[in-house]
Amino acid sequence: MPGPRVQFVLFDGFDPLDVIAPFEALTAGGDVLPEGLVIELVSAGGPGPVRSGLPGISLEAVAALDPEAPGYVLVPGAVGPVDGDPDAGDETIPVLLGRFAASEAMPLIARALDNPQVTVAAYCGGSLALAMAGLIEGRTATTHVLGIDMLDATGVTAVRARVVDDGDLVSGGGVTSGLDVALHLLERDFGSQAAHAVEELFEYERRGVPVRTGRYDGKARTA
């Protein structure tokens, strides 16, 4: 029987580093687990190329986002200019995140959040997009430092931290925090040995201490 499914949600303007770094970390982690992890790039629209926010870089979604599949749904942020004129067609990060927040992906992610067999992990602008869509009001989360005040204004308890664990919602700060989120999930749900093996392979050390809200039930997934 295959291990839990890990779905990385692609959307127009996503940040490739938000996807590739944790994708590799979880792939390496899955290699040391008995039944592994089934890791896929998905989109709300189904299979096909999805352009990132960096010119010339697209990734191929292999399936549609399935909120009923047990496992994890990972939500990256966007990349682009911070400032610009949306009326002139500038695809700033706020524009990209706002478009994502209003997209058909959000009802699917809402269903994933309602699914007790799914953990949603969002980092950098990904958690801010969920907040803009009204999906995590009343929850505790973090995002990129530039979006903390906006996150707080949406009704989320915003925390300045590298990783925030709110049970079935795990969030991360800036771009490279996707690595820390991936390692935290490996350690929390499969044990420290899996996370440490990836840290050694990548020669990467996690930063900070995860903020835990106590919502996690402590029942590690088995694989």
Distance, CA of 128 to chain centre: 11
Question: What's the pLDDT at 222?
Answer: 39
Question: What's the pLDDT at 87?
Answer: 67
> pLDDT digit string (tens) for 166-211?
999 999 998 899 999 999 999 999 999 999 999 999 999 998 899 9
Flag residues of the chain having pLDDT under 70: 87-88, 217-223
Tokens representing residue 76 in the block: 């990256």
Instruction: Give dist(CA 175, CA 173) in Å, integer.
Output: 7
Which one-letter DSSP state was computed for residue 172?
E
- Which residues, at least 6 apart from 35, have a Cβ–Cβ distance to it below 8 Å? 1, 2, 3, 223
Predicted TM-score (pTM) of this structure: 0.94
Question: What is the rounded average pLDDT for all residues in the chain?
Answer: 93
Instruction: Give dist(CA 117, CA 47) in Å, integer.
Output: 24
Question: What's the pLDDT at 223?
Answer: 38
DSSP β-bridge partners for residue 51:
58
In our burial notation (b when 16+ CB lie closer than 10 A, e otherwise), range 41-59 reads: bbbbbeeeebebbeeeeeb
Q: Which domains does the chain have, with CATH numbers?
A: 5-205 (3.40.50.880)
Question: What's the pLDDT at 215?
Answer: 82
